[in-house]
Structure 1
Amino acid sequence: MVFLDEIADGSLKIWKTLDISYTDFIRTTEARHAAFVQKILQKIYDKGEDIYQGEYSGLYCVGCEAFKNERDLVNGVCPDHLTKPEVIKEKNWFFKLSKYQGFLEKWFAEHPTFVESASRFNEVKAFVERGVEDFSISRENNTFGIPLPFDSSQITYVWFDALLNYITVCQEEGEKFWDKDTYILHVMAKDIVKFHATYWPAMLESAGYRLPDQEYVTGYLTVDGQKMSKSLGNIVDPVQVAQDYDRDAEVFYLLYDAPIGADGDFSWDRFKGTYESVLIGAWGNLVNRVVSLCSKYGITEGNIS
């Protein structure tokens, strides 16, 4: 838990430094979330057909916290983490995702902008068209996690648990942020779109909740064409960048240089070049000229139209 506290505190520090505001900050280790997860699990379990007990034998990527098929691997390893999945076999509880095959296909057809961008949506639709499989929603109890309300020997699988925090965080507002008249937008990285666009809609339909209006998928941020890695020593600390230059300079560069929705690449040379030529040279010069003219003609207030 100490490690998780450090990760959460680090995220909050970044948001504060970059002046990113939020209504509520939730962690899936919170008591309010555990209670809601168990409530939803029990509700779906009581339906008698969407959750069942079975045995799983297959490949599991620890980094993704997800089961893998052979077709998901590249040269026998996870393409995202470059590690070989573990072979596991255990009794778990499963969510009957296969029951919602037709529902997902119909939803995608009726909501052509459900996943943005189109290329990501095509990946999701192709995944579903191959035939979705039921997925395990529990693991053998290792003392860390949310116990299943109907089987205390098992804890809830992270991708059933974590997705529900979208609704947990609305509880204190009477779920008004999740009602039919609210526009619901999810923003996520490209590596977790499968869970959001297939597992999540089926879970919501099973539990009797409306679906989000759109899921916006972002790319990765690399450094000089390479993935950020501690071993390579190329991790860019957003807090340090803001302290060395300025918060506005950092945000401007990311919006200016990184394409929205696609992978972006951070380069110190381009960052410094943008800072000096665009912010200081272009915008800074413009502001200086405007201020000089205002001073020259005695303009002290007014509106820009």
Structure 2
Amino acid sequence: MKFFITTAIDYPTSSPHLGHAYEKICADAIARFWRLRGAKVHFSTGTDEHGLKIQRTAEREGKTPQELVDERSSEFRRMCEELGISYDDFIRTTEERHLKVVEELVRKLQEKGEIYRGRYEGFYCTECETYYSQEELVEGKCPVHGIKTEWVSEEGYFFKMGKYRERILEHLKNHPEFLEPEGRRNEILRRLEEPLRDLCISRSGFSWGIPLPGLEGYILYVWVDALMNYLTTAGYPGKTFEEIWPPDLHLIGKDISWHHSVIWTSLLLALDLPLPKKIFVHGFITYKGEKLSKSRGVTLDPLHFARTYSPDALRYFLLREVSFGQDGSFSEEALRTRLKEELVGNLGNFVHRVLTFTWNHFEGKVPEGKVDPSLEREVASCAEETGRLMEGLRLHQALERVMLLAKTGNEYFQGKRPWEAIKVRRGEAADCLFNSLNLVKCLSILLFPFLPFTSQKMAHMLGVEVKEWKQAYTFDLKPGHPIEKPEILFRVVEAEPAGSTLRAEEFEKVDLRVAEVVRAERVQGSEKMVRLELRLPEGNRTVMAGIGKSYSPEELVGKR
């Protein structure tokens, strides 16, 4: 059994924000689940590195486009590593393997007569690298980003996308599972009620992109380039491709549902390639009522929260708080509350009580005990139900169900009162700990897709390996099996107390913050000035500092 899952590839014009992290975390939970179920998983993510916006951003920062994407792509990769994202392939669209695939695919489209020369006139948003008609604009601005578009009028090359309208409509209607949730599918169906225009797939006037084969002076439209990454990561056109194509799941944000369900689908139809089995559209992460957006300056640094509260605390909050497929609001206060009440108070409390009691009263070994059939049935029921929920992409409900089992464990342990039984009825205490330890083992399996660091820590303390989902169905820890010394899984993180009021009137106006220097470079032509990129909770910020005579740029990176 194979399972091929992809995220969208990110546009690295700035550092990753919490919305990028959310998509990767969700995809990772799904990939880890299917690995436990025995599937041969291919999980791809990466960065989309061509286009006009990349070139303009690089020019503003005094860098080449390649230097810019090299720096920023490494930030996205670091985010994945720190958050435990278990990708199998991190693809960059500037890689040679991708350039070769794109050139071959475009030539195939040319040979099949799918591309013709014409004239394009319309509006272009450089933020999402998308063409819009006058009717699609909202008050003259991009309907997604709310910024001014550029009028483009140029000779170019078009892909005959319009002729695939009926086939796309038929597929959406006959295969409702192809595009979910239902509301997103209905949006696309409504848009397809209108005629579908052919797609301009060329740009001129800039150089940072993949040249259109045989057509000097034209760059391939970045969205065609980007969408083809899925074929590259699948190993097109080799044996690996035949084994894993089509994707079982494209996981994307709602701002690019049209690009995937219509543009990508029509390209695959034109190339006579099988369509993805499912495109699932997740919602946005909002902060104080606004969508996280680089262009609007509404960003939150995921690594700040992962380092402050732990990667699994952040993963837990996003997976548990947000109904998968809907928008979800981020609040640091809500994160602290879930950490304190659910991870520390429920899960962490149960695991620590059980392991500590075993360590103190049973020499750190699983005691002789009888299986509690009703508790074992409850665990098996949880594993079965959680599996069905994960198959149905109801991630938040699946995690809720597992945490309900942790609550059941707490109630079981509290009800058996082994601290009293150990004094006069040692056998009862042993039964309680035997069953509780096995329940902790089952939780370590069930939590692995969601909280991989915590799951592995639990498994290590129990001296077991997380290998397959069916481990969660049975109480198979044997009497005498040794456990490691218990460790705390989570710690409460309190809000920083407000500082005392300062009396100096002017100083009250100063906004003082602690920031980490993530990048530093000298300003050309100046001995004093250094350009610093600072990491703040709300996102990265670039500032200039006259400290070049006192510090080298290398000394400053990592300083706070």
State the TM-score, normalized to the length of structure 2.
0.52
- For 2:245 and 2:296, the matched residues in 1 are separated by 47
Contact 1:167 1:178 in 2 (8 A): no
Is 60-69 or 168-177 further displaced after alignment? 168-177
How far 1:78 moved relative to its partner? 1.4
**In structure 2, what is the equivalent of residue 163 of structure 1?**
227
Residue 43 (1) aligns with residue 113 (2) = no
How far 1:215 moved relative to its partner? 0.4
Compute the RMSD of aligned alpha carbons. 2.1
Q: Give the alignment of 1:254-273 within 5 angstroms.
A: 254-273=318-337
Supply the AA of the counterpart residue of 1:265: S
Q: Which of 67, 73, 78 is the aligned partner of 1:2?
A: 67
How far 1:32 moved relative to its partner? 1.3
Secondary structure of 2:286's counterpart equals strand
- For 1:19 and 1:203, the matched residues in 2 are separated by 33
Supply the AA of the counterpart residue of 1:8: S
How far 1:262 moved relative to its partner? 1.1
Is 219-228 or 170-179 further displaced after alignment? 170-179
- For 1:278 and 1:117, the matched residues in 2 are separated by 28
**In structure 1, what is the equivalent of residue 283 of structure 2?**
219
- For 1:212 and 1:152, the matched residues in 2 are separated by 33
Q: Give the alignment of 1:130-149 within 5 angstroms.
A: 130-140=194-204, 142-149=206-213
> How many residues align structurally?
304
Contact 2:234 2:241 in 1 (8 A): yes
Cα gap change, 1:44/1:23 in structure 2, threshold over 3 Å: closer, same or farther? same
Q: Which of 316, 325, 330 is the aligned partner of 1:252?
A: 316
**In structure 2, what is the equivalent of residue 86 of structure 1?**
150
Secondary structure of 1:262's counterpart equals coil
**In structure 2, what is the equivalent of residue 32 of structure 1?**
97
Q: Give the alignment of 1:1-305 within 5 angstroms.
A: 1-48=66-113, 50-140=114-204, 142-171=206-235, 174-177=238-241, 179=243, 184-228=248-292, 235-295=299-359, 298=362, 300-301=365-366, 303-304=438-439, 305=474
How far 1:10 moved relative to its partner? 0.9
Contact 2:246 2:276 in 1 (8 A): no
Is 53-62 or 223-232 further displaced after alignment? 223-232
How far 1:297 moved relative to its partner? 5.7
Secondary structure of 2:206's counterpart equals coil
- For 2:139 and 2:243, the matched residues in 1 are separated by 45
Contact 1:63 1:81 in 2 (8 A): yes
**C-alpha offsets along residues 243-290 of structure 1, whole Å, 9 cap, x if unaligned?**
112111111111111121111111011111111111111222222332
Is 66-75 or 172-181 further displaced after alignment? 172-181
- For 1:303 and 1:261, the matched residues in 2 are separated by 34
Contact 1:178 1:210 in 2 (8 A): no
Contact 2:172 2:178 in 1 (8 A): yes
Supply the AA of the counterpart residue of 2:98: H
Is 165-174 or 153-162 further displaced after alignment? 165-174
Supply the AA of the counterpart residue of 1:140: S
Secondary structure of 1:151's counterpart equals coil
- For 1:58 and 1:233, the matched residues in 2 are separated by 27
- For 2:92 and 2:196, the matched residues in 1 are separated by 29
Is 181-190 or 119-128 further displaced after alignment? 181-190
**C-alpha offsets along residues 178-205 of structure 1, whole Å, 9 cap, x if unaligned?**
5587552101111011010001111011
Cα gap change, 1:180/1:290 in structure 2, threshold over 3 Å: closer, same or farther? closer
How far 1:240 moved relative to its partner? 1.6
Which blocks of at least 5 consecutive residues in structure 1 are unaligned? none
Greater relative contact order structure (CA < 8 Å, 6+ sep): 1
Contact 1:141 1:147 in 2 (8 A): no
Cα gap change, 1:138/1:175 in structure 2, threshold over 3 Å: closer, same or farther? farther
Indicate the percent of aligned positions where both proteins have the same amino acid.
37
- For 1:284 and 1:148, the matched residues in 2 are separated by 56
**C-alpha offsets along residues 109-130 of structure 1, whole Å, 9 cap, x if unaligned?**
2211111110011111111121
- For 2:130 and 2:349, the matched residues in 1 are separated by 52
Contact 1:178 1:184 in 2 (8 A): no
Cα gap change, 1:180/1:228 in structure 2, threshold over 3 Å: closer, same or farther? closer
How far 1:225 moved relative to its partner? 2.0
